[in-house]
Amino acid sequence: MSTVEVNGTRLGVEVFGDGGGGAPPVLLVGAPTMLSWPDALCERLAAGGRRVVRYDLRDSGESATADPAVPAYTLRTLAADAAALAGAFGGGRVHLAGVGVGGMVAQVAALEHPGAFSALTLVGTRPVAPGPVDGDLPDHHGPTMKRLFARPRPDWTDRAAVAEFAAGSAEIRGDDPAAARSTAARIWDRTPAGAAAPVHLANQLGTVFARLDCTPRWRERLPALDLPALVVHGRRDRFFPLGNGEALAREIPGARLLVLDDAATALPAPAAPEVAAAMLALDRT
């Protein structure tokens, strides 16, 4: 892993493969950490001849940390970071992919920086910002969210406690607890030490977007996208239920919808071959 300076900030990145075949690189937006993207998927894409770059958003992982509790940037700033990274690693247009809240970053980046991207993949996300949803979109599954928010928070300085907390939350969401435990431990290991570490770590586990300025709306602009697009969604997703992915696939012209019957919120490693094949095919569209 290494860091790259873009837009006046330092972003943590990891590169897989060398892309020797000349196909567009693949840029994977973290949600907010790069570890939202399974190693197995990155390796499959690299084996398909792609140079794959996954990265941490600001205030997560190896990226620069300012004040994680009060982010001094917006969703559009994060979108501009994606476009800048595309320029740094692509030398041309790149295939942009976003998962979860990273999918929101990817949508805005594709809309505001169309010249930077050759294709778009959106995984387990929705076409509106965190907060109240449009009436035609399914909101978070109420009982699941109630159980998640009722759980006592762990001691963020205790690696084992954080890992078990993540595993318990994954079980409630319908994800693989073992995979969540392992990923949370890796995230903990990459969290910078210091007084801000607990807030920083909590943000990496998914709370930062609740404080982020995500205006203006972008859903109404999706029909203007002019690039091959793939929407991947878990049929059992309780956080962003499937109707959100279906809406994205309807509103982005020509988008393909890939529904993973055995997936919930997280992208499971066993789905890597199917998802990688669909992403690689998108670049041949």
Q: Judge whether residue 104 has pLDDT over 60.
A: yes
Q: What is the pLDDT of residue 71?
A: 82
The partner residues of 96 in beta bridges, in order of sequence, read 27, 120
Cα–Cα dist 260/224, whole Å: 27
Q: Judge whether residue 211 has pLDDT over 60.
A: yes
Q: Which amino acid is at 39?
A: D
Four-way CATH pick for 2-140+192-282: 3.40.50.12160, 3.40.50.1860, 3.90.209.20, 3.40.50.1820: 3.40.50.1820
Per residue in 19-73, pLDDT tens?
877 789 999 998 889 999 999 999 999 999 999 999 999 988 888 877 766 788 9
Per the model's pLDDT, the better-predicted residue between 65 and 143 turns out to be: 143
User: What's this model's pTM, rounded to 2 decimal places?
Assistant: 0.95
For the sheet containing 26-29, what is the strand order? Answer: 2-6, 9-16, 52-55, 26-29, 94-99, 117-123, 229-234, 256-260
Q: Judge whether residue 196 has pLDDT over 90.
A: no
Mean pLDDT of 233-249: 98
Mean pLDDT of 134-153: 95
Q: Judge whether residue 114 has pLDDT over 90.
A: yes
